[in-house]
Each structure stands twice: as C-alpha cells, then as structure tokens.
Amino acid sequence: MNSVLDMVIIGAGPTGISAAIYANRAMLNFVLLEKSFPGGQIINTYEVDNYPGIQHVSGFELANMFTEHAKSLGVEIKNDDVTGLELDGEVKKVITTGGVLETKVIILATGAHWKKLGVPGEERLTGLGVSYCATCDGAFYRGKKTAIIGGGDVAVEDAIYLARMCEKVYLIHRRHELRAVKFYQDKLFKTPNIEVIWDTEVEEILGQSNVEGIAIINNKTKEKSELKIDGVFVAVGTNSNSQLVQGQVEMDASGWILTDEECETSIPGVFAAGDVRKKSLRQVITGAADGAIAVFASGKYV
C-alpha cells in the first residue's frame, strides 16, 4: 500500500487539470487520474469563443493548451480507470485497475455524458449513422443530408458546423423556441441550408445497415411523417458521470451531485467539481473555476 496522499483528482478535463494546477501550486502530494484521453468533452467542440483571452480556438486545441500547461509545471496525468471508492473515515480509498490509492481528499471531476433519445433504431444504428459528436463524425456526411436533434447551445452549434459541409441540415426541436443563446441562434437563422422543424419529436430512427431516415411526429398536430437523411446527430443534453459515488453522496433525482458553494459533497473531504455536480451553468470556464475552488476548500483536510 502506498503512503497516504493528500489528494486524488479523478478526471483530466478542464476541471481536473485546473485542480491539478492548483494542487501543484499548493505543493500537495496528489495524483491526477484519467481513464482515456485528457481534455474531457471539450475536445469534441468545433470552436470555443467564450474563454477570456483566447480567440478562434478549437476545443481540441484549448484542451491541449490546458494539458501542456499542467505538464510544464510537472503535473503527471496517470492513465488509470477508477473502479470503486471507499469514502468512510478520514482516509479514503480509490480503487483503480492499477491498484489502491489512499488519500485524505478526493476531487471528482468526471464530467457528464450525452443523453440518448431512447427510440427504436438508436442503439442498433449507433456508429452507422447515429452519432453524438458532430465534430467527430461530421466529415463523413459531406454533401449529404443530416439531422440534429435538440435545441440548446450544442445542438445549434452542431447544426452550424454541419451546414459547412452538408447539403442540408435539419434541426429538430420539440418546442417552438430554442434554448441556445441568441448569438448562436442569429447565426443559425442566417444559414441558408439549415431548416428548423419546430414542435417535433423523433419516434424512430430508420434503416437496416445504416441510417436511411427518421420517423417524426408533430407534438401539437400529431401529424406523423418520415424524413430521408443520411445521418442523425443527437444533442439533447447530458447526464452526470456520478456512478462512482451512487448511493454514497447526496444527489438530486437526476443523478447530479449536490455540493455546497465550495464544491464539497455530503461526505467531508469528498468534492465534486465541474459538470458532474448540480449547477446552473456548465462551461469550460465554470469547470476550471470549480477545480480551483475545490482545491482551495480542501485545505482544511490536508
């Protein structure tokens, strides 16, 4: 068994990397764990234009800046998957595929994952025309017809991005107004090859070996129809990656971790920062702020 660490940070997106930078500045004995690639969901964002001081940068580029900044300070990102947590007592245990870590503080920076529609054909055709990442898969549909499902910032941004390469983009939204900020809405409505289909929901994704279309219903008139398309991009929100602490810390009914203003959960010494916790705004800048706040607040335990 290793000696007891001051802190284990789980997740190396903007929140986890920010926490690691602040933990490094505080000269804490800590480990930053990431099960896949550092950067978090931001790596799939076509353009980030609301992070102060940095203009015209892709999400991948910004994530790489964060990672390289941390590494330049001597921060090491350990590639390891956390399979369990034991949170009782002053010393917690982090169980990973590479062994068990003992620590005084845990910062959960595990983020969120995309919601699914839950309609027939979605699971079967995922990877065969159904995608949750326009910037990852959009290039496969150059010159083709696609549909974006959703009405928030991500859905509208994705529609604008796809319109640069697709012949036609349908934005399908169940309401008659978008939730996206006005800046993105203005760009959307000025893009000639984007058509918004209001008050409409997807009932089924159609196709045998690949997506051939979608069955839709107008939720006001109840009129049903089919739309022939080559790809479907789902952007209907996110769910918290809070499974590691399910049944251990307090959460709301949707699984978002409840914290105080310093990101501390219902268990002393366990913090949840960034998109994994219940909060009103989930952005790169708020996630990075959470990481710094959580490390600062953890000082009473280390």
275 is catalytic: no
Distance separating alpha carbons of residues 257 and 15, to the nearest angstrom: 15
136 is catalytic: yes
Annotated catalytic residue, options 6, 80, 137, 158: 137
Answer positive or negative: Cα dihedral of 4, 296, 74, 37.
positive
Closest CA to 17 of 290, 301, 281: 290
Q: Which residue has the tokens 């604008």?
A: 160
Q: Which residues pair with 30 in a beta bridge?
A: 7
In this structure, the dihedral spanned by the alpha carbons of residues 240, 246, 247 and 248, taken in order and rounded to 10 degrees, is -100
- CB of 7 within 8 A of CB of 108? no
Element (DSSP H or E) covering residue 79:
strand 77-79
Annotated catalytic residue, options 49, 80, 81, 133: 133
Distance separating alpha carbons of residues 12 and 32, to the nearest angstrom: 7
Q: Which residues pair with 225 in a beta bridge?
A: 216
137 is catalytic: yes
Helix 14-25 × helix 284-297 angle, to 10°: 40
Q: Which residue has the tokens 């920076």?
A: 109
CB atoms within 10 A of CB 137: 18
Annotated catalytic residue, options 49, 80, 88, 136: 136
What CA–CA distances, in Å, run from 166 to 58, 94, 207, 229?
20, 46, 20, 11
- Catalytically active residues are 133, 136-137
